[in-house]
Amino acid sequence: MRTILLLFNVVLLAIGNCATPLLLRLYFLRGGNRLWFSTWLQTAACPVVFIPLLISYLRRRRRRRSDTKFFLMTPCLFLSGALIGLLMGLMNYLYTYGMAKLPVSTSSLIVSSQLGFTALFAFLLVKQQFTAFSVNSIVLLTAGAVVLGLRAGNDRPAGESNKEYALGFVLTLASAGLYGLIMPLVELIYKKANTPIGYILVLEFQMVMSFAATLFCTVGMFVNRDFQVIPREAREFELGAAKYYIVVVCTGITSQSFLMGALGVICYGSSLLSVIINTVLLPVTELLAVISFHEKFQAEKGVSLFLCLWGFVSYFYGEIKRRSKDMVDEEKNQTPQTTEMTPTSHVA
Among 137, 89, 67, smallest CA distance to 321 is for 137
| 266 phi-psi bin (left φ>0, alpha ψ -120 to 50, beta other) | alpha
Range with the poorest average pLDDT among 169-178, 237-246, 284-293: 284-293
* Residue 158: per-residue pLDDT: 60
Q: What is the pLDDT of residue 150?
A: 60
Q: Is 280 exposed, middle or buried (0-12, 13-18, 19+ CB in 10 A)?
A: middle
Q: Are the beta carbons of 187 and 125 closer than 8 angstroms?
A: yes
The pLDDT score that the predictor gives to residue 72 is: 82
How many C-beta neighbours within 10 Å does residue 184 have? 26
What are the structural domain ranges in the chain?
Answer: 2-333
pLDDT at 343: 47
Q: pLDDT tens digits, residue range 127-179?
A: 877 778 777 877 887 677 667 656 544 555 566 667 777 888 889 889 989 99
246-256 pLDDT, tens digit each:
999 999 999 99
pLDDT of residue 336: 56
**Residue % of the chain over a pLDDT of 90:** 34
Q: How many C-beta atoms surround the C-beta of residue 33 within 10 A?
A: 11
Residue 187, pLDDT > 80, answer yes
Nearest alpha-carbon partner for 49 in 216, 222, 217, 257:
257
Q: What is the pLDDT of residues 70-124, one digit of tens each?
A: 788 888 999 999 999 999 999 999 988 887 777 766 777 777 778 778 888 888 8
Average pLDDT score over residue span 174-187: 92
Q: State the greatest distance between any 2 C-alpha atoms of the chain, in Å, as a whole number.
A: 89
User: How many CB atoms lie under 10 A from the CB of residue 28?
Assistant: 17
Full-model pTM: 0.80
Per DSSP, the chain holds a count of helices (H) and strands (E) of 14, 0
Amino acid identity, residue 124?
L
DSSP calls for 292-324? HH-----HHHHHHHHHHHHHHHHHHHHHHHHHH
- For the chain, state the CA radius of gyration: 23
Contact 108, 289 (CB under 8 A): yes
pLDDT of amino acid 348: 36
